[in-house]
Structure 1
Amino acid sequence: MKVREVHPSANSVRLLAGAQFADAFSLEVGGRALDARKAAEKIFARSPAWIDALLRLRNLIVTPLGLKTSAASETTPREMIGMFPVLSETPDRLVAGFDDKHLDFRVVVDVATLGHGQDVTATTLVKTHNLLGRAYLAIILPFHRLIVPVMMRQVASQGLP
C-alpha cells in the first residue's frame, strides 16, 4: 500500500478559511470496513519512537513560548483523536485540530468508497497568525512531510488501534 501526495480538495480547504498551507496524502485500502473515525484512530493510534522523540523535543522548545503542547490540558474536556480535539465528525469525514496564538491547525480525515476498497485521505491545513507561526511552520514542515506518510500507512494495518 503506497501513500501518495495529492492536491487537497477545495471542500477540505474551506474548513480553515485563509489557510496559508494545505497538503494531503492518500492511501487506497481493501475492503469497506473503515469510517472516518476508525481511519483517524488508526492514523494516530501509535507512532514510531523517532516521531515520539521529535514530539518531546518540540514540546520542550515551544513550552517557554507559551504554545500548546500535547500534554497541555484543555479547559473543557473534549473528545480526542490522538492528541487533537475532534471538532466535527460524520461517517465520511473527521475534522480535528485547535487554534493557538501563533497558528490554527486542522487535520481532516476523509474516507471514500473506491471500487471494492476505500480511499483514505489526510489533509493538513494551517493558518498562521504572526511571525512565530510562520517560523514554526517553516521549521516543522520538513518533518511533517516525513511523518504523515508513516502515520498514514497504519491505516492499512489489520489490527485495531
Structure 2
Amino acid sequence: MKILKTEFPENSILNTNHKEYDYSDSYKGVLIDKENKIHSTDIVKAFFASGPKWVGILFVLRNKIVTIFGLKTGNKINNRQQQLNNFKCEPNERLGLFKVFNKTENEVILGEDDKHLNFRISLLTENLNTQPIKKEVTISTTVKFNNWFGRLYFLPIRPFHKLIVPKMLKAIIKELNKKD
C-alpha cells in the first residue's frame, strides 16, 4: 500500500474557507471498499484506533511537557475502546485533544484551538470514478500560529509530524481493509 504526499485537496472544507495557513500538508492513499459502506465516521474511528503505539507514547510525552506551559492536553482516556464505541463524530464532540469542527458525508475536520496555535486535520474520502470499489483517502493538516511560541513549539513537532501522518494513514487504511 502506497501513501503519497499530495496537493491540498481543492474540495476540502479547509480549502473552501479561503484561510491562509502557516503550515499545511496532505497525504493520500487508496482504500478498498467493495460494498461501499465505509463512511467518514469510520475513517475517523480508525484514525483514533489504529495509530502506532509509539505515536501514543509521543503524545503522552508531549502532554507531560506542554502542561508546564499551560497548553491543552485533552481528557485522559481510560477506556479507549469504550469511548470510540460511544463516539458519534458529531460537531463539537471531543475525543482526547481532538474536537470535531465539521462533518460531511465525505469529510471530517478535527482539531483544536489553543493559545499558541490552531490546528485542523481533514480526513477526506473520494470515490475513484475509474474503480468504483476504491476510495482515495486524504489526510490534510493545517496549522495557524497565534504567536511566537506557536512557531517555536511547532519547530521540533514538524519532523515528527511528517513521519507520523503517513504512517497513521497507512494504519487507517489497513484497519479498514481488514473489515471489508
TM-score range, shorter chain: 0.7 to 0.9
Corresponding residue for residue 64 of structure 1: 68
Residues 62 and 82 (structure 1), Cα distance of their counterparts in 2 relative to 1, 3 Å cut: closer
Number of residue pairs the alignment of both structures matches? 157
Q: How does 1:4-153 map to 2 (within 5 A)?
A: 4-12=4-12, 13-15=15-17, 17-31=19-33, 32-71=36-75, 78-80=92-94, 83-114=97-128, 115-116=131-132, 117-153=134-170
Q: Which has the higher strand share?
A: 1
Residues 44-102 of structure 1: CA deviation (Å, up to 9, x unaligned): 213222111111111111101011113379xxxx4235641111111111111111100
Whether the aligned pair in 1 keeps the contact of 2:76 and 2:96 (CA below 8 Å) is no
CA distance in structure 1 between the partners assigned to 2:95 and 2:69 by the alignment: 25
C-alpha deviation, 1:15, in angstroms = 4.1
Whether the aligned pair in 1 keeps the contact of 2:97 and 2:112 (CA below 8 Å) is no
Which blocks of at least 5 consecutive residues in structure 2 are unaligned?
A: 78-91
CA distance in structure 1 between the partners assigned to 2:164 and 2:68 by the alignment: 24
Whether the aligned pair in 2 keeps the contact of 1:4 and 1:27 (CA below 8 Å) is yes
CA distance in structure 2 between the partners assigned to 1:143 and 1:118 by the alignment: 27
Percent sequence identity over matched residues?
Answer: 33
CA distance in structure 2 between the partners assigned to 1:18 and 1:156 by the alignment: 33
Q: Which amino acid aligns with 2:32?
A: G
Whether the aligned pair in 2 keeps the contact of 1:36 and 1:111 (CA below 8 Å) is yes
Look up the SS of the partner of 1:122 in the other structure.
strand
Look up the SS of the partner of 1:65 in the other structure.
coil
Normalising by structure 1, report the TM-score: 0.87
Which blocks of at least 5 consecutive residues in structure 1 are unaligned?
A: none
CA distance in structure 2 between the partners assigned to 1:125 and 1:26 by the alignment: 15
In angstroms, what is the RMSD of aligned CA positions? 2.2
CA distance in structure 1 between the partners assigned to 2:117 and 2:17 by the alignment: 14
